[in-house]
Structure 1
Amino acid sequence: MSAKPSIAVIGSGVAGLSAAYGLRAHASITLFERDDRVGGHASTVEVEDAGGTLGLDTAFIVFNAPAYPNLTKLFDELGVDSLKLRSGFNFFDLDDGMQYGSEQLGLSEDEVTARYPDGFQNTWREVRRFHEEARRDFLRKRTDLPMGEYLDRGGYSEAFRHGYFILLCTAVWSVPAELIWELPATTVIAFFMAHDEGGLGGREVDWRTVAGGSISYVRKVIAAVDPKVRLNEPVTEIHQDEDGVVVTTAAGTERFDYAVVATHADQARDLLQNPTPAQQQLLEPLRYNASNVELHTDASVLPVDRSQWRPWNYGKVTLDGQLRTYVTYYLNQLHGFTSEQDYFVSPDSPFPIANEKVIKTFHYEHPIIDLAMRNAQQTIYRVNEGTRLKLCGSYFHSKQQYYDQIGSHEAAFSSGMEAAAQLRRELGAT
């Protein structure tokens, strides 16, 4: 009986975990991770609270079955429990005091006219117009252009852009406001069509969180795969040849039969010493945005009126003459627990958060989704055909969701699943 092939998986985020899971019965797997933990954006901080343990997620937090079919299937296979989220959002403007949420967007025009000032009435009407026109334009294939150009063409106001649109998009794609205009309009519109006009805070979607935090599913994947895990061991070089792949770390070099590079595209670009022309062409133009995320207990980032707090809280404020937008996740509602202590996640907060209230700070990177990245999706999976080295990550799309499911946990998981399937085919395994 021949020995199983050796496979190095570089990166233990969801793409790497997915690839390892898909290869678990067919290979001897070594998992390289530069950090001191596995999971990547499945990043949970466990805190003691009132005699119990709370799992607080700081990056990947929510999913729903229609938009995350492959991830949901994994959870079902592994017996990962989930909790239904009572969804909703809160928009607030700290400059003029205007505040509205999911409930207000769901009102009729007569109700809005009777109850709310002209500013909100105008925003409400533009929200309605955008979702009607965008759906129609999408179906007529008129949305293959940057988001900023699409909104310019439609004559949308600054109030709509900064009081609604930017706020939702910065949370969905984890990029700063100035990069929202580069998003492909078709990608943004497809997201809203698949969910509803509340986006992440939409109430018509069965949003769920992983019980105990996303670390719960990570632990079950690791237990199912049982790889050789090499924490705190960043890979510095990868060289591929006809017979295998050589992986270099500070500890030296090792040869494997195959490798799966499950890092961000820019990291893969730096690691590959001799990329194929297809790999080089794919990786070269792809960009990332870095953000600092604070898990904390400082309630000053939200309005004083607690009754308006929601799982997703989108704010805007003018600081030093510059309009700043931000999002704060209220974890007590997102994870569905009751505690005397409030817990929040704030990416790139425009306000300083009290040091004594910061539990932990994280540095995350997300792909900048522009037309170049979306156009690459048309042929992206060909890059892994017939090579000893396979690529995967959230810069790939989910085949089940078409080209516009990019940048998400589902996209990353699906890309790892596809990399594993490609390798199994080339190994002659079922």
Structure 2
Amino acid sequence: MSTAPKPRVAVIGAGVAGISAAYKLREHAEITLFEQDDRLGGHANTIEVEDAGRTLGIDTAFVVMNRPSYPNFSRFLDELGVATKEHAGGFNFFDLDTGLQYGTDEMNLPEEEVAARYPAEFGTIWREARRFHAEGRKDFFRKRTDLPLGEYLDRGGYSEEFRYGYVILLCTAVWSVPAELIWEMPATTVIAFFMAHDEGGLGGQRVDWRTVSGGSISYVRAAIAAIDPKLRLSQPVIGVREEADGVSVATTAGTEQFDYAVLATHGDQARALLTDPNEVQRRTLAAIRYNASLAVLHTDPAAMPGDRSRWESWNYGKVEVDGRTRPYVAYYMNKLHGFESATDYFVTLDYPRELREELVIRELRYEHPVIDLDLRTLQQTIYQVNEGTRIKLCGSYFHSKQLHHDQIGSHEAAFSSGLDAAQNLLRAIGA
């Protein structure tokens, strides 16, 4: 008795969304995994450095997760048998020009101690941070936060000190967007994040934050071993077209035919790759925007405050450059990953000054979706794009269905959308 051949599926993009889809499909389809880069993983990008006779895996994009906010991804790690390490959190704000510093401990002080020990600028930030988190929660449930963050802060009469000494610093770390785009973000998305975590954001201490043991490359390697796909590394796809009985995938090496395709790329890349999009695809992808950020793995302490005792896992800096206040993030990777080393390793995001060239290990450019009101509104209908088509879309520009419309742009959102795309495809083939 003959067995019907498995459908041939092209998964285009080997970031977390593509890996998620391929993993779900692995037993039901013959998978070809296309990736334009020479490596797998996308934002799961671990740089392995030799340090005192051992190899340290240092993450440069996706770094931390927690079970409540990453439920599907957490189950995936468990299924793969990939271990995670507890991360204690902790954050520090610092101004390289004025020397003002405050962090986890200071934000938890009583108001009278803040007034007695710290300058008025920090007192303003301390009071308004308390007010923002208290009022934001109430406004969220009263449905008064569906407007741009900048407008929400204007209505609340929040100060410039609070905006540039707290809001911008936390938000650039969470969503990897520059200061000028923070104000466009939906206030509801920002407030929902802090409600789901705590007031310290990624550096909060009331959440069981974890890092992947050995770096996120550990899960990528385990997943690819389980999937065992046909790999097409360093092979950019230049066009994807749905046909009557399949999908054609054009690359720089030629055109191949598949039964289905999963387009696990950024939304703007998907828009460019679809050579004959249908109306739903065209409408869904029309206005999605991305922003590029520069992450640098290095050992130059110039990006950190001079007082080493203040170094935390998450360090939010600001400095004036060419007359503008420039915020940036400095991750202290020794503390973040929980390893001991005679060398201090940092990952800085959009650091506006020069680093010593001989201390730079790797420069990496990453793109993230710009989360504005249009993208959040799109979440109401975005999953309809995968109905009735042989080409399924996924990526971090989708939300996680389990966590609702404000879970956009994260590793969990990308993973969950890849899982959903695969489930949709399995329904189509009757698996």
Deviation string 1:114-137 (CA, Å, 9 cap, x unpaired) is 322222111100000000110000
Q: Which residue of 2 aligns with 1:117?
A: 119
**Matched residue type, 1:59:** A
- Indicate whether 1:151 and 2:131 are aligned: no
**Matched residue type, 1:151:** L
Structure 2: which 5+ runs fail to align? none
Deviation string 1:283-317 (CA, Å, 9 cap, x unpaired) is 01000001121111111100111000001100111
Aligned pairs (5 A) from 1:180-195: 180-195=182-197
- Indicate whether 1:289 and 2:282 are aligned: no
- Indicate whether 1:206 and 2:208 are aligned: yes
Q: Which residue of 2 aligns with 1:25?
A: 27
Deviation string 1:242-294 (CA, Å, 9 cap, x unpaired) is 21100001110000000000000000100000111000001010000011211
Q: Which residue of 2 aligns with 1:108?
A: 110
- Indicate whether 1:300 and 2:302 are aligned: yes
2:86 to 78, 84, 95: 84
Q: Using the alignment, how far apart are the partners of 1:322 and 1:421 within structure 2?
A: 48
Shift of 1:86: 1.4
Deviation string 1:22-53 (CA, Å, 9 cap, x unpaired) is 10010000000000000000000111111111
Shift of 1:98: 0.8
| Identity fraction in percent | 67
Indicate if the aligned counterparts of 1:242 and 1:388 stay in contact, CA closer than 8 A.
no
Indicate if the aligned counterparts of 1:265 and 1:283 stay in contact, CA closer than 8 A.
yes
**Matched residue type, 2:340:** T
Aligned pairs (5 A) from 1:418-429: 418-429=420-431
Q: Using the alignment, how far apart are the partners of 1:237 and 1:116 within structure 2?
A: 58
Q: Which residue of 2 aligns with 1:170?
A: 172
Shift of 1:354: 1.1
Deviation string 1:361-386 (CA, Å, 9 cap, x unpaired) is 11110000001100000011111011
1:371 to 370, 373, 376: 373
Q: Using the alignment, how far apart are the partners of 2:342 and 2:315 within structure 1?
A: 20
**Matched residue type, 1:203:** Q
Q: Using the alignment, how far apart are the partners of 2:72 and 2:320 within structure 1?
A: 41
Shift of 1:206: 0.6
Shift of 1:240: 0.7
- Indicate whether 1:236 and 2:233 are aligned: no
Aligned pairs (5 A) from 1:365-404: 365-404=367-406
Shift of 1:111: 2.5
Q: Which residue of 1 aligns with 2:363?
A: 361
- Indicate whether 1:343 and 2:334 are aligned: no
- Indicate whether 1:142 and 2:133 are aligned: no
Q: Using the alignment, how far apart are the partners of 1:399 and 1:238 within structure 2?
A: 27
SS in 2 for 1:333: helix
Aligned pairs (5 A) from 1:11-50: 11-50=13-52
**Matched residue type, 2:277:** P
Indicate if the aligned counterparts of 1:393 and 1:413 stay in contact, CA closer than 8 A.
yes
Q: Using the alignment, how far apart are the partners of 2:344 and 2:67 within structure 1?
A: 28
Q: Using the alignment, how far apart are the partners of 2:46 and 2:293 within structure 1?
A: 17
**After the TM superposition, which of the residue ranges 171-180 and 239-248 deviates more from structure 2?**
239-248
Shift of 1:113: 2.3
Deviation string 1:326-378 (CA, Å, 9 cap, x unpaired) is 11111000100000000011122101111111111111100000011000000
1:93 to 92, 95, 112: 95
Indicate if the aligned counterparts of 1:245 and 1:257 stay in contact, CA closer than 8 A.
yes
- Indicate whether 1:331 and 2:333 are aligned: yes
Aligned-pair Cα RMSD in Å: 0.7
TM-score, with structure 2 as normaliser: 0.99
Q: Which residue of 1 aligns with 2:320?
A: 318
Q: Which residue of 1 aligns with 2:66?
A: 64
Q: Using the alignment, how far apart are the partners of 2:51 and 2:318 within structure 1?
A: 31
Q: Using the alignment, how far apart are the partners of 1:122 and 1:296 within structure 2?
A: 34
SS in 2 for 1:55: strand
Q: Using the alignment, how far apart are the partners of 1:48 and 1:199 within structure 2?
A: 31
SS in 1 for 2:207: coil
**After the TM superposition, which of the residue ranges 27-36 and 350-359 deviates more from structure 2?**
350-359
TM-score, with structure 1 as normaliser: 0.99
Q: Using the alignment, how far apart are the partners of 1:129 and 1:302 within structure 2?
A: 29
Q: Using the alignment, how far apart are the partners of 1:108 and 1:63 within structure 2?
A: 30
Q: Using the alignment, how far apart are the partners of 1:418 and 1:67 within structure 2?
A: 17
Indicate if the aligned counterparts of 1:126 and 1:156 stay in contact, CA closer than 8 A.
yes
Segments ≥4 residues shifted beyond 3 Å: none
Q: Using the alignment, how far apart are the partners of 1:262 and 1:71 within structure 2?
A: 16
SS in 2 for 1:419: helix
SS in 1 for 2:343: coil
Q: Which residue of 1 aligns with 2:270?
A: 268
Indicate if the aligned counterparts of 1:64 and 1:205 stay in contact, CA closer than 8 A.
yes
**Matched residue type, 2:275:** Q
**Matched residue type, 2:89:** S
Q: Using the alignment, how far apart are the partners of 2:256 and 2:193 within structure 1?
A: 42
Q: Using the alignment, how far apart are the partners of 1:38 and 1:313 within structure 2?
A: 29
Q: Using the alignment, how far apart are the partners of 1:376 and 1:117 within structure 2?
A: 44
SS in 2 for 1:294: strand
